[in-house]
Structure 1
């Protein structure tokens, strides 16, 4: 089983990222940052994250996109601003299909969400600093096991949000 932490839109807050490392650094296999960290690639805390560049990131050392392999799954990580994710997931889904991605992680909207479309799982972990459409400052952890993806959402302050647990099946 592979465990992956997904965070986005921390907007310069080192303290929030440090909390994530304290709480989960030893229990997850991969830590993804979907952009708008507003930190430099060389910042020590960013060494722990596989990060992409968001529209508020000025360090060009971050890639615009990443492909991560986790077991037999391909994870596409992007911020989302280049795909107009605030209005639709259509452009993002086209790119994900080009890459044969199974799981798509993105941010930009600061709105927590998870949706399965055409046997692909789209996850926006919300924002751990400036959430929209809810008060909780959220991030997500997924566990991959065979065809199952277990998604758990957390609030940076109060921890696990059990009412926001979901299980998805992604055929291979």
Structure 2
């Protein structure tokens, strides 16, 4: 069985100065790390690479020119591991989608409604349409952890490393064997 560390939305140095020590503790011993975007500084991938080989995709922050190096990363990355078709993406897929997704986050921050997983549901619908061939889709963007099966696809959002008002920081572990898939979300504050 292979253990894959899942991480997203590190936002270093714009929201955090550095990766919290808990990231290294929770991801110790994994065989591979997948970063689902909003890396902001590519040095983060090198730091994670000291734990295990690390792959990443671009996030939506590059649209605001906060993370010009993010543009060096692919928008989506298909992988095959133990016969499972994985797709790694941030989830926004375009500037338009990124802006409409942010609207829901702003409404939550203003207290107009509680964040009830609306953004993750929107992302899952979008990603299912865009990548119907993928068996497991790993995404970020909402800063909210999520593990949800829809038809033949498993959607996994490890949450964000940077803290938000609506979710605690977290990472994930994906365990894969040819006939087995297990996902665990690990809070960083415990």
Structure 2 length as normaliser, TM-score? 0.71
Q: Which runs of 5+ in 2 are unaligned?
A: 62-66, 102-118
Aligned positions of 1:28-67 closer than 5 A: 28-40=30-42, 44-45=46-47, 47=49, 48-56=53-61, 57-59=67-69, 60-67=71-78
- Deviation readout 1:108-163 (Å, 9 max, x if unpaired): 111111110121100011111134533x21111011133321111111231xxxxx
Report which structure shows greater RCO (CA 8 Å, sep ≥6).
2
Higher helix share: 2
Aligned positions of 1:66-81 closer than 5 A: 66-81=77-92
Does structure 2 conserve the Cα–Cα contact (< 8 Å) formed by 1:16 and 1:156? Answer: no
Q: Which runs of 5+ in 1 are unaligned?
A: 159-172
Between structure 1 and structure 2, the one with the greater Rg is 2
- Deviation readout 1:16-39 (Å, 9 max, x if unpaired): 2664335424x1111000001111
Where has structure 1 moved over 4 Å in runs of 4 or more?
none
Q: CA RMSD in A?
A: 2.3
Shift of 1:49: 2.2
| 2:2 corresponds to | 2
> How many pairs were matched up?
154
